[in-house]
């Protein structure tokens, strides 16, 4: 009998061992897995188990557990690699709820970011250890520990009605769900980019509440970390203290520090009221902090030698009419923007949707400071600015045509500028502005001024500087200017100056400089009156009037000789490609010059058309300048109409009349040899002074042609005609001499014998008789 009992126990033991071996290696049957799943279903948890085994030491182990949304079996809420089931065998035998707890030891928990996609990104939790107590309709965590992307997590708490978790976590609207999934994915991505150079960060979680009554849910989180790195941004410490209670999220403290400063953030979020409030205080270096998460090109243009201080309060509402308001103060010491070094910046900031403002703005530089206010309301932008900074230091901040235009200024003394602006927006095309400028020593396009004052107005891309007063060493200038950037025009409004024109014209349009370069003024600048319009790119709208009065005289180059006038006045009109000079009056060589000129300014069509009148001009001074002899005498009256092309003397064409009175005729080189001939006819006749000399003449191809050359002396008359090649020092000229009075009567029968011709040099002619008498 004893042997039978032993055999029976052996068979039972072998059966148990075989069943245990089978349960450990092959797992429980599908029926048993379904039995366990049904048990969880009673607790509001829908799951599947790929395998249910029996471990000889740990007990019943569920492997590859997949938890689903109870309302949608397609949603995978979590995947656990394995967990130990704590079985209440008495309840199991009595067919009561028999799973008292779940034990996790170095388990892995995978939470899909998108429950609808099992292949999408997941939240991976490793080293999951702890016990989940499962009283009816409850989950109780006791010292649960895990690791989340390098962060050590410790959690404990109790949840009632855990089956309501999915309905709380998953938003009802699909669009909201998509946004939530995007936010979760971004958080995961940020956690993966964090590098822990120190010990692992520690996150402690405590929670409790009834998920069927969300107002009872309580969650407290505290995070502490050291030596964290995100890209090139290194954090020394990080501390987070957050609380969720009464359906409100409170960020009690977020503090982080880097090598230069600290960031402190507090705030709250009320989902029921759809409102948020955050307070920020920062002294961290913003560049590595921002660059660690995103690229912000505007910030990369700054270099902060000391981190700025930012105090900011942000309030936001997310209801049917979303709204956000930000109020704060920013200050920064010693920073560089695009190579410009500033000493300090500070401002009070306000932002609310389409409304924003910067008040009490102060920007300090070693050359001065800028103060002001800026405000933007719906369709209403306002700004006020006062500056004592040298504008040259701000040049690197400008770009495009404005920068090119601004480079033309130079300021030895920092100006004092006050400007107020207003418009629909900060867009220069929609702004109008006015202001007052006071300049010390400065220059524009290289032309210096000792001082200047101006009232400026800007609108429709037009800058109006009127009234404007400029003081230079030689005189002053007063009037107004308009810079039309849209039409490339400069308007000149009743400008009166005693400034040298070749320097003043640089301020209006440098392209006109070559046109006024031939007109040179001496020790005293002329008095000018300017009014009109100049197109800076050569357009048809150029029409600039200039009235000139120079009591100090002017020099002008004519036929390659410098003419000096002791005083001159004229009216000038500049158009697109022409210069018209009217009412020209000047004192020259002791006489008067009057004229009108029409000059082409076109490079491809050079030329001029002029009428010149001379009255009682000293004939000796004129012949000295152009023929290099000064022994002639008398006064010259003349009129000359001519055309030409620049300095090309051979291209000159013209006609005129001249009269010389009381002149020493034979002191003119080409007539000089005739003096001896006259003395041979009648002794002393060659030394006579002509009462009058006159001629009508024409000029072409460097040749003076006349057919009625007449000289009247006391004892003789000369009649001539021919060509004087004044550019080639040659001549082809005939002269007939008639004696006056009794000698003329006696010599009349042989008057043909007193006709002479010359085809030699103009400066050293040889006169030969035209008729040679037979001997």
For residue 270, the number of C-alpha atoms closer than 13 Å in the C-beta half-sphere is 10
Q: Give tens-digit pLDDT for 538-552.
A: 888 999 999 989 888
Which two three-digit tokens encode residue 355? 């409304």
Candidate from 558-562, 729-733, 752-756 with smallest mean pLDDT: 752-756
Give the residue-averaged pLDDT of 716-736.
87
Which parts of 530-582 fold into alpha helices (H)?
Answer: none
Q: Give tens-digit pLDDT for 373-396.
A: 999 999 899 999 999 998 888 888
The pLDDT value given to residue 184: 57
Is the pLDDT at 692 greater than 90? The verdict is: no
Dist. CA 187–CA 110, nearest whole Å: 16
Candidate from 21-30, 199-208, 277-286, 722-731 with smallest mean pLDDT: 21-30
For residue 95, the number of C-alpha atoms closer than 13 Å in the C-beta half-sphere is 0
Candidate from 48-62, 260-274, 559-573 with smallest mean pLDDT: 48-62
Is the pLDDT at 273 greater than 60? The verdict is: yes
**Phi-psi label, residue 186: left if phi above 0, alpha if psi -120 to 50, beta otherwise:** alpha
The pLDDT value given to residue 774: 46
Dist. CA 518–CA 593, nearest whole Å: 17
Instruction: State pTM to two decimals.
Output: 0.67
The pLDDT value given to residue 191: 67
Instruction: Quickly tell me which residue has 């003024």 as its tokens.
Output: 521
Q: Give tens-digit pLDDT for 503-524.
A: 777 776 777 777 677 778 777 8
133 vs 240, higher pLDDT: 240
Highest mean pLDDT among 45-54, 106-115, 458-467: 458-467
Dist. CA 567–CA 565, nearest whole Å: 5
In 3D, which of 498, 496, 505 has the Cα closest to residue 529? 496
Q: Three-state secondary structure along 141-194?
A: EEEEEEEECCEEEEEEEEEECHHHHHHHHCCCCHHHHHHHHHHHHHHHHHHHHC
Give the residue-averaged pLDDT of 561-586.
89
Non-local (6+) Cβ contacts of 567 within 8 A are 550, 551, 552, 553, 586, 587
344 vs 95, higher pLDDT: 344
If pLDDT is split at 50, 70 and 90, which confidence band does 174 have?
low
Q: Give tens-digit pLDDT for 453-501.
A: 999 999 888 899 999 999 988 889 899 999 898 889 999 999 998 888 7
Determine contact, residues 592/616, Cβ cutoff 8 Å. Answer: yes
Non-local (6+) Cβ contacts of 2 within 8 A are none
Non-local (6+) Cβ contacts of 144 within 8 A are 104, 128, 129, 130, 131, 132, 153, 154, 155, 156
Give the residue-averaged pLDDT of 448-455.
91
The pLDDT value given to residue 684: 55
In 3D, which of 649, 639, 656 has the Cα closest to residue 698? 656
Which two three-digit tokens encode residue 690? 């002509």
Candidate from 152-156, 325-329, 445-449, 714-718 with smallest mean pLDDT: 714-718
The pLDDT value given to residue 15: 44
The pLDDT value given to residue 562: 81
Dist. CA 597–CA 578, nearest whole Å: 10
The pLDDT value given to residue 664: 66
Give the residue-averaged pLDDT of 68-93.
75
Dist. CA 155–CA 206, nearest whole Å: 6
Give the residue-averaged pLDDT of 639-643.
94
Candidate from 281-290, 337-346, 403-412, 483-492 with smallest mean pLDDT: 403-412
If pLDDT is split at 50, 70 and 90, which confidence band does 182 have?
low
Which two three-digit tokens encode residue 166? 């999915």
């Amino acid at each position: 009998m004893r042997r039978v009992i032993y055999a029976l126990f052996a068979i039972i033991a072998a059966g148990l061992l075989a069943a245990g071996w089978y349960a450990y290696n092959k797992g429980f049957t599908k029926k048993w897995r379904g039995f366990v799943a049904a048990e969880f279903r009673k607790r509001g948890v829908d799951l599947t188990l790929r395998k249910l085994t029996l471990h000889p030491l740990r007990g019943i182990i569920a492997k590859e557990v997949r938890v689903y949304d109870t309302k949608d079996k397609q949603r995978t809420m979590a995947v656990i690699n394995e967990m130990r089931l704590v079985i209440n065998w008495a309840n199991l035998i009595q067919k009561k709820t028999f799973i008292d707890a779940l034990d996790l030891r170095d388990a892995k928990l995978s939470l899909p970011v998108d429950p609808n996609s099992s292949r999408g990104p997941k939240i991976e939790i490793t080293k999951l250890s702890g016990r989940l107590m499962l009283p009816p309709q409850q989950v109780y965590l006791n010292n649960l520990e895990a690791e989340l992307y390098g962060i050590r997590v410790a959690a404990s708490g109790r949840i009632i009605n855990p089956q309501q978790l999915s309905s709380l976590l998953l938003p009802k609207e699909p669009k909201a769900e998509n946004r939530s999934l995007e936010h979760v994915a971004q958080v995961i991505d940020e956690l993966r980019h964090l590098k822990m150079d120190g010990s692992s960060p520690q996150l402690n979680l405590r929670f409790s509440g009834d998920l069927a009554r969300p107002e009872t849910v309580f969650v407290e989180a505290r995070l502490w970390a050291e030596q964290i790195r995100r890209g090139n941004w290194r954090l020394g410490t990080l501390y987070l203290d957050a609380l969720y209670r009464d359906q409100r999220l409170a960020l009690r403290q977020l503090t982080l520090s880097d090598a230069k400063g600290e960031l402190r953030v507090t705030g709250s979020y009320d989902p029921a009221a759809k409102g948020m409030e955050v307070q920020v205080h920062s002294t961290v270096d913003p560049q590595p902090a921002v660059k660690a998460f995103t690229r912000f090109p505007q910030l990369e243009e700054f270099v902060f030698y000391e981190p700025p201080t930012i105090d900011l309060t942000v309030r936001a509402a997310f209801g049917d009419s979303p709204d956000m308001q930000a109020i704060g103060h920013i200050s920064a010491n010693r920073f560089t923007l695009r190579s410009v070094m500033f000493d300090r910046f500070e401002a009070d900031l306000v932002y609310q949707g389409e409304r924003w403002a910067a008040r009490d703005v102060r920007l300090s530089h070693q050359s001065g400071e800028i103060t002001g206010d800026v405000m933007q309301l719906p369709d209403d932008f306002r700004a006020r600015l006062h500056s004592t900074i040298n504008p040259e230091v701000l040049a690197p901040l400008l770009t495009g045509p404005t920068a090119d235009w601004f480079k033309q200024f130079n300021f030895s003394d920092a100006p004092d500028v006050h400007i107020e602006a207003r418009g629909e927006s900060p867009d220069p095309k929609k702004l109008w502005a006015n202001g007052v400028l006071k300049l010390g020593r400065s220059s524009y396009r290289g032309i210096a001024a000792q001082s200047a004052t101006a009232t400026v107005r800007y609108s429709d891309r037009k800058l109006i500087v009127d009234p404007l007063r400029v003081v230079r060493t030689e005189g002053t200038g007063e009037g107004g200017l308009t810079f039309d950037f849209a039409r490339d025009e400069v308007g000149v409004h009743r400008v009166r100056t005693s400034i040298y024109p070749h320097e003043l014209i640089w301020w209006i349009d440098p392209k006109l400089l070559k046109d006024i370069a031939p007109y040179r003024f001496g020790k005293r600048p002329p008095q000018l009156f300017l009014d009109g319009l100049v197109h800076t790119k050569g357009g048809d709208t150029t029409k600039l009037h200039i009235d000139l009065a120079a009591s100090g005289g002017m020099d002008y180059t004519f036929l390659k000789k410098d003419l000096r006038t002791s005083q001159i006045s004229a009216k000038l009109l500049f158009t697109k490609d022409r210069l018209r000079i009217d009412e020209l009056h000047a004192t020259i060589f002791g006489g008067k010059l009057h004229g009108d000129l029409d000059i082409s300014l076109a490079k491809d069509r050079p030329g001029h058309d002029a009428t010149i009148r001379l009255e009682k001009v000293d004939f000796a001074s004129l012949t000295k300048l152009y023929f290099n002899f000064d022994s002639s005498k008398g006064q010259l009256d003349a009129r000359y109409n001519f055309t030409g092309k620049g300095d090309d003397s051979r291209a000159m064409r013209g006609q005129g009349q001249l009269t010389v009175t009381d002149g020493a005729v034979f002191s003119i080189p080409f007539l000089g040899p005739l003096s001896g001939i006259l003395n041979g006819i009648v002794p002393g006749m060659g030394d006579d002074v002509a009462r009058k000399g006159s001629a009508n003449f024409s000029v072409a191809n460097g040749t003076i042609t006349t057919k009625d050359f007449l000289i009247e002396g006391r004892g003789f008359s000369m009649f001539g005609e021919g060509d004087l090649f004044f550019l080639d020092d040659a001549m082809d000229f005939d002269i007939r001499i008639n004696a006056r009075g009794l000698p003329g009567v006696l010599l009349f029968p042989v008057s043909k014998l007193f006709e002479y011709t010359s085809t030699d040099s103009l400066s050293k002619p040889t006169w030969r008789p035209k008729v040679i008498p037979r001997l």
